[in-house]
Each structure stands twice: as structure tokens, then as C-alpha cells.
Amino acid sequence: MQAIKRILVVIDPTREDNVALVRSRLIAAFIGAELHLLACENRHDHKPLLAELCAGLEAAGVTASYTQTWHANLTETIVHTLRAEGCGLVIKQHLPDNPLKKALLTPDDWKLLRYCPAPVLLVKDSASWMHGNVLAAVDLGNHDDQHHVLHDTIVSHAADIADMINGQMHLISAHPAPMLSAANPVYQLRENIVRIYTDKAARYRDQYNIPESNLHIDEGPADTLIPKVAQQIGASVTVIGTVARTGISGALIGNTAEVVLDQLGGDVLVLKPDDMVAHLEQLLEK
């Protein structure tokens, strides 16, 4: 997170709370980043409001600029501005989606998670992060190199946030249920599976000095286990990866980040594998 120099903050001019702005100000002050405020609107002039918000940030010692624009839809507007302004992180307020609407249409924030080539922090409310818990969600059962890099990035970002807020980091990974029919006898006993996952978590535990009590290795689907543990520890923010599925498969399957988004009480930082970011960048170039 320390490498991020510019942050794009999506401002909703119709709301007075501006929780995304509150969160972005904290992060920008900690990592020394500039903020660029964006109003995705073409019907009314919100530039006076954006100028006022920037003036307040400048007075607090945070360099800020702004844009008001619109490109076809919300996601395209955000991604276009992200690239134009050279930002490395998007911060946006997330509001719970209507279940019926979500069943019929892909929510805007799901689209943003799928198509944005930069990390996205979705903010739920203005509750303070300070001295809170940060939950890093990884899939320790995934063996390919790309996911290993993603896991390293997830845990690194979580550690940065925990340091920023003087809080504690927790690590969670869901493991599958034992199967007597498994070809490898190791996966026929729960104790063996837990040991394998715990051994894989050891390098993160040792590198970031995570207490044993903050390691959550348990059986179950990740989209059930992550919200459960996040609630138990009162996670201020959960850091998670997404495979950014699109098309029919994405609509039918979804992914863990999307499924848990409305179930988590705290904020959610979503990261992507490097190969997915490169693919999205190629699509945007076209």
C-alpha cells in the first residue's frame, strides 16, 4: 500500500456523510498519497462542492484535485478517470443492494470489482478503524504461483493497514471437508488437512508476527466462514482477492468477494491477481 501515490475517491454529491472521503483522508495522510475526487455526474454542476472538499483537504495537509465527468456508466467513468489521473487505488462508499434488484441486475459495485484494474476499497460507514482488527482472507489450498503472489499482496496490504491504525491483523483460510474417497489419503482426515493449511500459514505468521489466536483455519465454504469470523473479531476492514469472473460464468458463479460484500459489517479492500490486472489493462487499451 505504501507504493500508492494517488488515490481516486468517488464522491456521491447527494450524500452528506462522504464516508469514502473520511477513509481516504486517513490513508492519504498515512502513506503520503494525493487524493483525486470524482463526481460521476453530467446533469448538475457539483464542481463548487468538489472545490470546497479539496480546500478542506489542502488545509489538513493533503494534496487534492477533482474531476466531474461521465462516460456511459459508473464503472467506465471510474476506470477512465483512474487511468487518466494515474491513481493506484479506488475508494468508494458501498450501500447494500436491494436483493430483488441484485437478482435481476449485476450491482454497480460488482462491476467495479470485476473491471477495475486497481485495488478497490469499498467503505460501509465512517466508524473509526483506529485500534481495530484487520482480516486478511486467503485461499491456502490454491497452489499456483499467481495465487501465491496474490496472497502475499493481500497479507502485505493487511499488515500495512494494521500498522496504520495501530491494530491487529488476523489471517483466515477456509479448508475443504475431509473425503474418504480422496485419492490422496492425507485429505481423508480433518487433522491432516488442518495441519497442511496451518503449515502454509506459518510463513505469514512468522513474517508478520501474527499471534496463533489470530489464525483462523477452519472447515467450510469461504463465503460463509469469512463473514462469520469477521463478525466474531469485529473486523474494521477485510482484505480479500477476486478472480474477477465476467460473462455468464461470472453471473452464475460470482466470486467470494462479491458474495460476502453485503454480509461484512466492516469495509472491504479487494485486490486482483497480476495476470487479471494485465488482462484488464489490455482490454482497456482496445
Give the per-residue pLDDT at 184. Answer: 59
Give the per-residue pLDDT at 220. Answer: 84
pTM above 0.85, yes or no: yes
Give the per-residue pLDDT at 114. Answer: 86
Give the per-residue pLDDT at 274. Answer: 63
CATH 3.40.50.620 spans which residues of the chain? 6-93
CATH 3.40.50.12370 spans which residues of the chain? 133-285
Is the Cβ–Cβ distance between 20 and 122 less than 8 Å?
Answer: no
Number of CB atoms found within 10 A of residue 284's CB: 14
Rounded Cα gap, residues 95 and 89, in angstroms: 19
CATH class of 133-285: alpha beta
At CA 218, angle to CA 212 and CA 220, rounded to 5? 160
At CA 281, angle to CA 276 and CA 266, rounded to 5? 55
Dump pLDDT digits (tens) for 186-210. 556 778 888 888 999 999 999 999 9
pLDDT of the chain, 286 residues: tens digit per residue = 768 899 999 999 988 888 999 999 989 998 999 999 999 998 899 999 999 999 999 999 999 999 999 998 999 999 999 999 999 999 999 987 776 666 667 788 988 988 898 999 999 988 899 999 999 999 888 766 667 788 899 999 999 999 999 999 999 999 888 765 455 555 567 788 888 889 999 999 999 999 999 999 998 889 999 999 999 999 999 999 886 554 444 443 347 888 898 899 999 999 987 645 554 555 555 5
Is the Cβ–Cβ distance between 174 and 138 less than 8 Å?
Answer: no
* H or E segment and range at residue 238: strand 235-241
Q: Are strands 267-271 and 120-123 parallel, antiparallel or unpaired?
A: antiparallel
Give the per-residue pLDDT at 211. Answer: 95
> Grid coordinates standing for 145?
504461483
| One-letter identity of residue 87 | C
CATH superfamily membership of 6-93 = HUPs (3.40.50.620)
Rounded Cα gap, residues 93 and 82, in angstroms: 16
Give the per-residue pLDDT at 106. Answer: 77
Give the per-residue pLDDT at 35. Answer: 97
Give the per-residue pLDDT at 214. Answer: 96
Is the Cβ–Cβ distance between 241 and 150 less than 8 Å?
Answer: yes
Dump pLDDT digits (tens) for 62-106. 999 999 999 989 999 999 999 999 999 999 999 877 766 666 677
Rounded Cα gap, residues 273 and 195, in angstroms: 26
